Amino acid sequence: MSNPGGASISAEQLKARFVGTGNADMSKYEWMTNQHRDTYASHLAHYDQLSYMAVAENQSIGRMRLKLFDKMIQPCGPPPPTKDINRLAEK
């Protein structure tokens, strides 16, 4: 049947299915955070990379995995303060 909602629904669905997708209003911080998480996910998913890194850091593979998981929380540090025009005026 028809979908009276139009395109906006599909954008939401896209975001729901692929969390790393972006849009024209995405900030640098958000995008970089996604990149970092994708990078860690990629390391975690490829066992050879994981074991390589474990050797390089002289740690067990399990610890390395845990470390990468931990890094996924705020991989680029805390979010920058919102650049709200109203707030800037207060300063």
Closest CA to 71 of 37, 20, 43, 35: 37
Contact between 24 and another protein per CB under 8 A = yes
Structure tokens at 44: 């975690």
Q: Which is nearer to another protein, 28 or 84 (CB)?
A: 28
Q: Which amino acid is at 22?
A: G
Contact between 35 and another protein per CB under 8 A = yes
Closest CA to 40 of 76, 61, 68: 68
Binding site for another protein (CB under 8 A): 1-2, 4-5, 14, 18, 20-24, 26, 28-29, 31-32, 35-36, 38-40, 42-43, 45, 52-53, 55-57, 68, 76-78, 80
